Homo-oligomer: A and B are copies of this chain.
Amino acid sequence: MQPIPTFTNVIEGAERIKPFAKRTPVLQSAWFNKQTGAELFFKCENFQKVGAFKFRGACNAINKLPASEGEKGIVTHSSGNHAQAVALAAKLNGYKATIIMPENAPKVKVDAVKGYGAEIVFCESTIDAREETAQQIIQKTGATFIHPYNHPDVIAGQGTAAKELLEEVPELDAIITPVGGGGLMSGTLIAAKAMKPGIKVFGAEPELADDAYRSLQTGKIEPVLRTDTIADGLRTSLGELTFRIIQSHIDDLVTVSEESIIRDMRNVWERMKIIIEPSCAVPVAAVMDRKIQVEGMKVGIIITGGNVDLEKLPWI
């Protein structure tokens, strides 16, 4: 079993990524405050490098590697923001990154990863094929595999977002994040509960990808059953490490409908003038639909990323 990272690891991670990651702004919206009766603080990781919080975790994990390891290369499989995050973090260290992507990955995502100088290896679109391809590369080159969430250094890196948010708004009563593989939620739990023991930390998931909700009910990791939620960043199941952390510390986890996700994605675009991915709208929908009671509270919401295809908006 991998060790659970500590708040000390988050603090070390913050120092490690400081020269590379952005300290993203915290925005507020009078309209959302009025709608929810709460005071909401949006931590804008859509403005982070590569357009997503994922850069924090990848940068922490890769920068922590001894050069002798890093020089053998970095490998991961992802067609999402983690791919770009690993590609950029490797490039900043002068390491070679190999990203395994499914053959049917959208060209725009492939190009983004190539733009950061990574090599792309295509494989069949199954988990087995991806993991086998990764193993082959690791055996041949000695490259280090960076898991997108089930990795202590990745989790500690993701926790730096909540650390910055609580440094800027120490009076928060609660923080809400979306839950996909659970890396951001795990890092947030570790940072927030250490910095402010009384704080509530809530998770939100799409109804169509409610694996974490079901996992908390049954007490074991339940798989994602379908992959058609519009919140494409949240289509993954929890890992062994993230499940252990979330199970021990989370205050509540709720699910929201696809309609609510699209509605509040658009509301954020229209009212806050920021571009967010569908995944970011999941915690927003949770408070707008009163799935989480926040009236009268000061609540932080981590806006996870802003990488969307501007040709295809879900409301058009």
Contact = CB atoms under 8 A, between A and B. Distances in A.
A278 interface: no
B306 A310 contact: no
Contacts of A57: none
A1 interface: no
A27 B49 CA distance: 13
A267 B44 CA distance: 19
A294 interface: no
B273 A306 contact: yes
A30 B21 CA distance: 12
A269 B46 CA distance: 11
A106 to B, nearest CB: 14
Contact of A313 (B30, B46, B310): B310
A270 interface: yes
Interface string A45-59: 011010100000000
Interface residues of A, number: 22
Given A25-B25, A316-B316, A272 B310 contact: no
Given A47-B272, A47-B273, A311 B316 contact: yes
Interface in A244-278: 266, 269-270, 272-276
A316 B312 CA distance: 8
A311 B272 CA distance: 16
B310 A273 contact: no
Interface of A: 25, 27, 30, 44, 46-47, 49, 51, 266, 269-270, 272-276, 306, 310-311, 313, 315-316
15 contacts: A25-B25, A25-B27, A27-B47, A44-B273, A51-B273, A269-B310, A273-B274, A273-B275, A273-B306, A275-B275, A310-B315, A311-B315, A311-B316, A313-B313, A316-B316
